[in-house]
Chain A
Amino acid sequence: ETGVTQSPTHLIKTRGQQVTLRCSSQSGHNTVSWYQQALGQGPQFIFQYYREEENGRGNFPPRFSGLQFPNYSSELNVNALELDDSALYLCASSLSTSGAAETQYFGPGTRLLVL
Chain B
Amino acid sequence: AQSVSQHNHHVILSEAASLELGCNYSYGGTVNLFWYVQYPGQHLQLLLKYFSGDPLVKGIKGFEAEFIKSKFSFNLRKPSVQWSDTAEYFCAVNTADTGRRALTFGSGTRLQVQP
Q: Interface of A with B (CB < 8 Å)?
A: 31, 33, 35, 40-45, 48, 55-56, 58, 90, 92, 94, 96, 101-109
Contacts and interface: CB of A to CB of B under 8 A. Distances in A.
Interface of B: 4, 32, 34, 36, 42-46, 49, 51-52, 90, 92, 96, 99-108
A41 B96 contact: no
Contact of A42 (B43, B52, B90, B96): B90
Contacts, number: 60
Main secondary structure of the interface of B (DSSP, over half): loop
Nearest to A96: B101
A50 B42 CA distance: 26
B92 to A, nearest CB: 8
B105 A101 contact: no
Nearest to B50: A101
24 contacts: A31-B101, A35-B103, A40-B108, A41-B108, A42-B4, A42-B105, A42-B106, A42-B108, A43-B44, A45-B102, A48-B100, A48-B102, A55-B99, A55-B100, A55-B101, A56-B101, A58-B102, A90-B44, A101-B32, A101-B51, A101-B52, A102-B101, A103-B34, A108-B43
